[in-house]
């Protein structure tokens, strides 16, 4: 057991709550501190009652208290701070780590380190980047798609981006596609965050299904940029996201034309070979279902063809494989731990 201290920034949201849950049971990472300036001094279990038996008397700390914990040890830092705020916050912790000779490894689950340049980030989010000097220190990809990296830190792709990349990247890298990619995704209400808004209000969301930001979702350029960086080809992606009547999970359907006709079994075989050795990805016959992965870090993929057209279906838990679980998976790898450490809990199919 290694017991590397781990800190979490932006500690009161849904993704942060899942990070805390995973870290509380992790065999090698020890939850040492959680930052929330607005909740400083409040017991973590007050905000997350389901963690009361896991986090004990741990309380939220302000930024200065967490900075003082950087004292020359090897440490892990997860940032679940909001887009636009995370970059400057992470920069301050990296600066403090350098001053205290702390070997700090960062995994950021905001959008702030998913783009290769400040201009690319600003084009999507409409604001200046908070720490452009750090962009070259971060890699952004799914761990299944980037075997090794010499970058010190990781910017984890978004939840929709994770589901999209699970289909788009192998299709692009294996040169299976002729023409554009078309995708339709459905996400649960937790994807909108913890702060109540009209789109997460129960009477509006329950027994309802609707599209939002069709062909204009900000995860689309993120996906095509990562595909371009890892495959040398930038696909054209037409993506329509939907809000679904459930709390967590993403179901993604991607369609397009094949470069050459092949059977469903042949396409499944190509995808199975691509993901061979990936512990958290299962390419299987039939149509994947959200309830088979919710509450877990697993991803299920199905595929069918009809002459020269294809459909690839992906299901993940948006808060885990699409955020907190993927972040822990990356941290495990960056620290030389078993990639599956703390992440092998099975799904909760009857929730």
Render pLDDT for 204-223 as a digit per residue (tens, 0 to 9).
889 999 999 999 999 999 99
Asked if residues 87 and 112 have their Cβ atoms less than 8 Å apart, the reply is: yes
pTM of the model: 0.97
Which tens digit of pLDDT belongs to each residue from 10-60?
989 999 999 999 999 999 999 999 999 899 999 999 999 999 999 999 999
Q: Assign 267 a pLDDT band (cuts: 50, 70, 90).
A: very high
Which ranges in the chain are annotated with CATH 3.40.50.720?
Answer: 4-139
Q: In what helix (H) or strand (E) does residue 67 lie, and over which residues does it extend?
A: helix 63-67
Give the Cα separation of 93 and 246 in Å (integer). Answer: 36
DSSP 206: T
159 is catalytic: yes
Q: What is the pLDDT of residues 72-84, one digit of tens each?
A: 999 999 999 999 9
Tens digits of residue pLDDT in 90-122: 999 999 999 999 999 999 999 999 999 999 999
Name the average pLDDT for the chain. Answer: 96
- Rounded Cα gap, residues 185 and 187, in angstroms: 7
CA-based diameter of the chain, in Å?
A: 61
Looking at domain 159-318, its CATH superfamily turns out to be Dihydrodipicolinate Reductase; domain 2 (3.30.360.10)
Which of 68-77, 150-159, 186-195 shows the lowest mean pLDDT across its residues?
Answer: 186-195
Catalytic residue among 159, 227, 278, 299: 159
Model pLDDT, residue 1: 60
Residue that wins the pLDDT comparison between 193 and 206: 206
For the chain, residues classed under CATH 3.30.360.10 are 159-318
Structure token pair of residue 17: 């709550």
How many angstroms from the chain centroid is the CA of residue 121?
17
CATH class assigned to 4-139: alpha beta
């Amino acid at each position: 057991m290694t017991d590397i201290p781990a800190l979490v920034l932006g500690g009161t949201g849904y993704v942060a709550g899942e990070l805390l849950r995973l870290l509380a049971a992790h065999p090698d990472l020890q939850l040492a501190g959680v930052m929330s300036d607005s909740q400083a001094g409040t017991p973590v279990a007050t905000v997350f009652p389901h963690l009361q038996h896991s986090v004990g008397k741990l309380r939220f700390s302000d930024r200065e208290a967490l900075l003082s914990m950087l004292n020359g040890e090897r440490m892990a830092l997860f940032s679940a701070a909001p887009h636009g705020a995370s970059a400057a916050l992470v920069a301050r912790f990296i600066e403090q780590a350098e001053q205290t000779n702390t070997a700090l490894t960062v995994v950021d689950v905001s959008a702030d380190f998913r783009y290769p340049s400040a201009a690319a980030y600003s084009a999507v989010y409409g604001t200046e980047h908070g720490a452009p000097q750090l962009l070259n220190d971060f890699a952004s990809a799914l761990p299944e798609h980037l075997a090794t990296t010499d970058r010190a830190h990781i910017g984890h792709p978004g939840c929709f981006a994770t589901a999209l990349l699970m289909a788009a990247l192998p299709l692009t890298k294996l040169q299976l596609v002729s023409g554009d990619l078309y995708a339709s995704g459905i996400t649960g209400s937790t994807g909108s965050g913890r702060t109540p808004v009209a789109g997460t209000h129960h009477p509006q969301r329950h027994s309802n299904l609707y599209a939002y930001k069709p062909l204009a979702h900000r995860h689309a350029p993120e996906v095509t940029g990562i595909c371009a960086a890892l495959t040398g080809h930038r696909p054209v992606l037409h993506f329509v996201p939907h809000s679904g009547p459930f709390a967590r999970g993403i179901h993604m359907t991607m369609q397009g034309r094949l470069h050459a006709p092949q059977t469903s079994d042949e396409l499944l075989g190509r995808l199975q070979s691509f993901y061979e050795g990936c512990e958290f990805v299962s390419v299987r016959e039939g149509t994947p279902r959200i309830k088979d992965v919710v509450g877990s870090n697993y991803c299920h993929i199905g595929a069918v063809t009809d002459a020269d057209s294809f459909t690839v279906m992906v299901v993940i838990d948006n808060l885990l494989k699409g955020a907190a679980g993927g972040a822990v998976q990356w941290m495990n790898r960056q620290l030389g731990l078993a990639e599956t450490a703390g992440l092998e809990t099975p799904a909760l199919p009857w929730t």
